[in-house]
Structures are given as structure tokens and as C-alpha cells.
Chains A and B, each alone.
Chain A
């Protein structure tokens, strides 16, 4: 299959995928934050939301950190 396969195109698409993944994780963290605010507003057991966010937000941040480490590590490790 013939594509316009310059190195630049490839690398732009890689950045786009990376950005999408960052957006996905940011979306989840934003969602959790939204649920905390909602539960506070409705006085509907905010402790549950906060408790879960204490685990979930660092976890998703770690995942994106590891992925970033690989993503940039690959770029930097090239000959």
C-alpha cells in the first residue's frame, strides 16, 4: 500500500496519538473531578468520590507518565 510516507508524516501522527492518549487520561481525571464537585453540590457522600479519586487520579497519572517515558525515551534513544 502506497502512502505519502515521509518521516515527518509518521512523526506527526505519532504526536497526535500521544496527544489523544493524554486527552483521554485528562478526560478521566476531569470526569472524576466533576463527580467530586457534583457529590459536594448534592451533599451526596462526597467522601466516597474523594476516597476513590485519591487512588484513581495518581494511578491514571502514573500510567500517562510511564507512557510518556517510553514515548520520549524512544525518540531520544534513536541513533
Chain B
């Protein structure tokens, strides 16, 4: 067929959609098994009650809430990074934005799902709609997350329209659906103007929404009076951690799909190096916030604050705490601070340690405080059970499954934006740089 090579050098981007290899089938099968295993565990939990978890008095929140905070955190990868790069006209963003935006939409569902999994009475979920109270930070979360989910779905969808139209014109399977979703895109000047304007507005709009989401998630903890939680910097601290872990997960996803879809020509060393630098900055910022948070607690030396503090610094959670500092700060600084190690492999290793470290950070914010309540007489312990671990793993599997299925329907790199970069970006950047210089006219 003649149109097949219309996309010439970008043909590779459509390959995963049109050819289904054993790799795809095997991945989906494995992920489905993991998700099914998690679902079985969850049904067991619904049947018998939350007693099947390791939670008790006073540690009444555990892995589920940790996962909730973590997943909502990595949702910042996407939309926020993509929006910032778009607004700052960073030309190297073109192959990255779509990958980032998909992360957001996928993990928001899963993150919000963990709150529902954590409910003792999931059958009464609708009470939140019927009798919700806006004084409760949980309702702030519900509102903010649904706004973010709506906004980031639109923000994922808009730049997808021209690519959907390409798929429609290639006339393969699912043509009918692509015809619907492409909204009649023909690439006319007027349509392009509308789309570009809408994308620009959305890019501005999603940034404050994204910031609000993790701020509000932190409010679940900081609005209480509990030692270690009741802190004014929790909002920005959580947002910084969210962007930090988000970039790390984005890099991991990029490495995986670069390998799986052989996208080496699109995702180059420079992309990883640039994101690595961003990760380095976030690591420093994370350390700054962590330092400020713990030093304030330590200096004030309130006894309740200190029992949480010592539990983390030299108590039962010391191994976790120091591992977290190593994973989030020491190792990334060493790897990313050095140009020779800031390679694809280097950024991948740093991203993996950061993902683990940030998950531990969420855990260490939630559990030690609950374990050391204000009244010294109630002390507890917390060992997550197999059910909790299964459902945690299932969450990660579901995220990957969502991602893999997405790549089956849509190109994971924005084909039209890469083309636009090739055809217009070069000239535009040339012009832009000229406009910065004194020797050229306006």
C-alpha cells in the first residue's frame, strides 16, 4: 500500500501498534496474572475485613495509604513536566511529553483506588457523594484529584488528536474508533490554531492543579495534630517529592520503552542527561526540605516530636530512614553530579534508587508517626501482610498494564510533534536565538 511509507523515518513509531509480537503478549499475560492475584487478595479482604492486613491500633494506616501518596506523587511526572517543558519551549521535550502524560492518567486511577481499597466499608463508598463534608481533607483530595484527572486526560488527549488522525488515515484495525476520536482532524490551518491554543491554555492550567493535588494530599497528614505530621512545609515538601519521584519513574519508563520499541533514535543520551540534571536539582531540593523539616523538629525538641524523630534516626526505622537518605540523596548526587556517570545507565540506576527511596519516604512519613502517638502508653508495631504486598504489587502491575495497552493503541512518541520539530522547530529555534542577540533586529 502506498501510504505505508508516508511517515518514512517515523514509521517505527507506528510499528508497535500494527505488529503484535510475543513480547507484548507475554508482558500482558504476566501483568494480568499479577493483577488477578491482587484482585483475589482484595476480594479476600472484602470478605473477611481489613483484619487480613497488618494494621492495628495505633498504626491504622499502612501500605495502602503509602501507595496512595506514592502513586499520586508520580502522577506529577507527567503532566507537570510535560507542561513545564512545553511552556519553556524546550525543544528536546518532543519525544518525552506523551510518555509523561500517560503516566499521569494511569497512576491517578491507581492512586485514588488505593484509598478505596483502604476503606473498611467499600460498600458505603457512595456516602462520600451523598453526605460528603468539605471540612475533611479527604474531600479536598477527592475534588482535587478528580480535577487533575479530568485536566490531565484532556491534556493527554489534545496532542493525541493529530496522531489519532494519522492512525485513522493508515486505515488499519479499529479504524472506526480512530475516526470518532480524531474529531475530524484534517490539519487545516484553523484546526491547528485551535489545537495549539487549547494545548497552550491547558499547559498553563495543569500546573496549578498538579501543585494543588499533592499539597492537598499532604494536608491529609499535616491538618492533624500528630507529631511529625503537623508541619507547615508539608505541602511544598510533598510537591517536591512528587516531582522528584515522578521524573525518576518517567526515566525508568523511557529506558524500558526505548529498549522494547527500539526507539534509540528518538530517546538519545541528551534526553536522559537533561532529565538527569533535573533529577539532580530535585534531589538537592528534596534534601533541603528534608533537612529543614527534621532540623526544626529536632531543635524544638518536644518530647512527642522526638519519639518519632528518634524512631527514624536510630530506632526501629533507622535502617529504612538511612537507606532512604542514601537512595534519594547520596547515590543520585554521586551518579548524576558527574558528567561521566550521567549516562543512560547512570540515570536509570539513580531513578530506580529514587523510586524505591521515595516510596520509603512516604512509608516513613505515615507509619512512624502513627506508631508513636502523643500519649506514650499506646505503642504498636506494623508488619504488612501478604495481602497488602500482593495488592501493592498488583498496583504496580496495573500501572504497567495500562501503559502497555496504551502503547498498543496509540504511538507512545508524539509523531506529529517530532515531525513539527523537524520541519518548523529548527527554523523557529534559529529565529528565537537570533532574537536574543543584540546584533539582529527584532
Contacts and interface: CB of A to CB of B under 8 A. Distances in A.
A and B touch in the complex (CB under 8 A): yes
A26 interface: no
B356 interface: no
Given A1-B173, A73-B194, A14 B183 contact: yes
A18 to B, nearest CB: 9
B266 interface: no
Interface in B68-87: none
A56 interface: yes
14 contacts: A32-B143, A35-B133, A44-B135, A52-B140, A63-B147, A63-B150, A70-B198, A71-B183, A73-B190, A73-B194, A77-B186, A77-B190, A77-B193, A78-B184
The A contact surface, by secondary structure, is helix
* Interface size classification for chain A: 35 or more
A21 to B, nearest CB: 9
Q: Give the size range of B's interface with the partner.
A: 35 or more
A17 B143 contact: no
Given A1-B176, A49-B134, A56-B143, A63 B154 contact: yes
A1 B174 contact: yes
Contacts, number: 103
Contact of A5 (B134, B146, B151, B176): B176
A79 B146 contact: no
A28 B132 CA distance: 13
Given A52-B134, A56-B147, A60-B150, A13 B188 contact: no
B209 interface: yes
Contact of A10 (B129, B140, B179, B191): B179
Q: SS class of chain B's interface: helix, strand, loop or mixed?
A: helix
Given A17-B180, A76-B190, A52 B173 contact: no
Interface in A5-53: 5, 10-11, 13-14, 17, 24-25, 28, 31-32, 35-36, 38-39, 44-45, 48-49, 51-52
Contact of A77 (B147, B151, B176, B188): B188
Interface in B193-217: 193-195, 197-198, 201-202, 205, 209
B116 interface: no
Interface in B168-187: 173-176, 179-180, 183-186
Contacts of A39: 133-135
Given A1-B173, A66-B198, A13 B180 contact: yes
A77 B192 CA distance: 9
A71 B184 CA distance: 9
Contacts of B146: 28
Given A3-B176, A69-B194, A74-B185, 9 more contacts: A5-B176, A5-B179, A14-B183, A35-B139, A45-B133, A48-B133, A74-B183, A74-B191, A77-B188
A51 B140 CA distance: 11
A52 to B, nearest CB: 5
Interface of A: 1, 3, 5, 10-11, 13-14, 17, 24-25, 28, 31-32, 35-36, 38-39, 44-45, 48-49, 51-52, 56, 59-60, 62-63, 66-67, 69-71, 73-79
A47 B262 CA distance: 55
List the 9 shortest-distance A-B pairs measured between CB atoms, nearest first.
A73-B194, A77-B190, A77-B191, A49-B134, A74-B183, A3-B176, A48-B134, A45-B135, A48-B135
B436 interface: no
Nearest to A76: B190
A59 B147 contact: yes
Nearest to A78: B184
Contacts of A24: 150
Interface string B311-334: 000000000000000000000000
Contacts of B193: 77
Contacts of A44: 133, 135
Given A52-B143, A77-B194, A78-B191, A35 B132 contact: yes
